[in-house]
Amino acid sequence: MSSFKALRVHQADKGVEARIEDMRVEDLSEGSVVIRAAWSGINYKDALAVTGKGKIMRTLPLNAGIDVSGTVETSEDPRFLPGHEVLVTGCGLGEVHDGGFAGMVRVPGDWVVPMPDGLDLRRAMAVGTAGFTAGMALVRMEQNGQEPGHGPILITGASGGVGSFATRLFSRAGYSVTAFTGKTDAADYLQSLGAADILDASQVDYGKRPLEKAIWGGAVDSLGGDALTWLTRTVKPWGNIGAIGLAAGIELNTTVMPFILRGVSLLGINSVECSRDLRLAVWQRISELLQPDDCDAIISGEVGLDDVLESAESLLARKARGRTLVRLA
Ligand SMILES: NC(=O)c1ccc[n+]([C@@H]2O[C@H](COP(=O)([O-])OP(=O)(O)OC[C@H]3O[C@@H](n4cnc5c(N)ncnc54)[C@H](OP(=O)(O)O)[C@@H]3O)[C@@H](O)[C@H]2O)c1
C-alpha cells in the first residue's frame, strides 16, 4: 500500500514536537480494520496533545487525532467490508493508538461505528467526539429522568464544540436552553443553534451558600471549577448535571446539600471508554435529532494537516467557535 501523510507527535527536549511525516499502513498501531481517512475535527484534547499543553498521549511517537471518518480499505472483521463508510471517536485513538490526523488509520473492529443514518463522512466529523459527548449527556440525563417540563438546561462553554452541539441537541429534543458563554459576540450564533436565552459568564454571581435559588432544570458543563460548583447549588430538585469538561479547572468545591436535600444528580460523562451498546445508542439519538443543516451551522472552518497546530492554539486561546474540521482525503 502506498504511503500517506500523518501528523505525528514526538517527544522533544522540552515538551513535544508535532510534525507531518510519510507513513505506511504497516507502521500504524495494530487493528483488524484499515480506514482510508476522509475527515477529522479538532477537539480540546487534540489541541492539548499537538501543542503539548496537556499530557494526552500516553505513548510517543503517536499520530494525533481522537476522531476520524473514512471508508474501509481492508478488513479482517466480517462486520465491515471495503467501501463501507465508518467513523471512530475516542476509544484511545490519538491517546494510546495512532490517531485520525492521518491518511490511513488502523483500529480494532469494536471501535468502528457504521455511518449513522442522516450523517455523511464530513458531517460525522462535525459531530465528532464533541457532539458525541453532548449526545451522551442527553442520553444519560434522560435515562435518569430529565425531561423538558423540568425547566431550562444551562449549557456552559456554549460556543465551544461540546457546547454548540449540546445547545443544538437539547433544543432539538424540546428543551429550553440557556447558553452560558464568555464570548460577548456569540449571542446570534447560539440563538441560531436554538438557545432561548444567553447568559454572559462575566455577569454571573456564583454566590457562596451551599444551596442558592434553584433555577435550572439541568445542566451540561464543559468547564468544571467554580461554574460546576455553582451548578450543583442552582439546579432544581431531581435535576441532572452532565459533568463533561475541565476547561476552567478540575476543582469541585461543593457540599452534599444539593444531593441529599434536592436529589440533584451529578452524572459523569466519559466519551472515550463506554460500552459499544451505549456508543451505538448515542449515535442513533444524535442522528434522529440532527437536521441536515445543523452540522453545517456548527462548522467554523476546514484545515489541512499543515494548519492543525495553528487552529489548536486558537482553540486553546478561546478564539474558536463550534468545530474546525481537518481535511484528510
Ligand atoms: N468527558 C468527555 O468524554 C469529554 C469529551 C469531549 C470534551 N471534553 C472536555 O470538554 C471541554 C470542552 O471541550 P471542547 O472540545 O468543546 O472544547 P472547546 O471547543 O475549546 O470549547 C470549550 C469552551 O469552554 C469555554 N472556555 C474555554 N476555556 C475557558 C476558561 N478558561 N474559562 C471559562 N470558559 C472557558 C469557551 O466557551 P465560551 O467562550 O462560549 O464561554 C470554549 O469555547 C474540555 O475540557 C474537554 O476536555 C470531555
Q: Which atom of ligand 1 is nearest to the CA of 136?
A: 3
The CA 160 to ligand 1 mean position distance, Å, reads 6
> What would the CATH number be for the domain defined by 4-115+296-327?
3.90.180.10
**Ligand 1 pocket, Cβ-based, cut-off 6 angstroms:** 43-45, 129-130, 133, 157-163, 181-183, 186, 201, 222-223, 244-248, 269-272, 315, 318, 320
Alpha carbon nearest to ligand 1 atom 28, residue: 247
For residue 35, the one-letter residue type is: I
Atom 19 of ligand 1 has which residue's CA nearest to it? 160
- Report whether pLDDT(292) > 90: no
Per-residue pLDDT, averaged over 264-292, amounts to: 97
pLDDT digits (tens, 9 = 90+) for 49-93: 999 999 999 999 999 999 999 999 999 999 999 999 999 999 999
Please tell me the residue having the least CA distance from ligand 1 atom 24: 157
- For 283-301, what is the mean pLDDT? 96
pLDDT computed for residue 1 by the predictor: 66
Spatial distance between the Cα atoms of 233 and 247, rounded to a whole number of angstroms:
20
What's the pLDDT at 35?
98
* Per-domain residue ranges of the chain: 4-115+296-327, 128-268
Q: How confident is the model at residue 314 (pLDDT cuts 50, 70, 90)?
A: very high
pLDDT band (50, 70, 90) for residue 14: confident
Supply the pLDDT for residue 245: 97
Question: How far does residue 245's CA lie from ligand 1's centre (Å)?
Answer: 6
Q: Which residue's CA is the nearest one to ligand 1's atom 17? A: 44
Q: What is the mean pLDDT of residues 163-190?
A: 97
- The highest-level CATH class for domain 128-268 is alpha beta
Pocket mutation for ligand 1, best pick of 223, 226, 266, 274 (most atoms within 8 Å of C-beta): 223
Torsion from C-alpha of 197, 198, 204, 210, nearest 10 degrees: 40
Question: Is residue 187 predicted with pLDDT exceeding 90?
Answer: yes
Residue 222 Cα, ligand 1 centroid: separation in angstroms? 5
Dihedral sign of CA atoms 322, 129, 127, 219 in order: negative
HEC letters along 161-205 = HHHHHHHHHHHHCCCCEEEEECCCCCHHHHHHCCCCEEEEHHHCC
What is this structure's pTM?
0.97
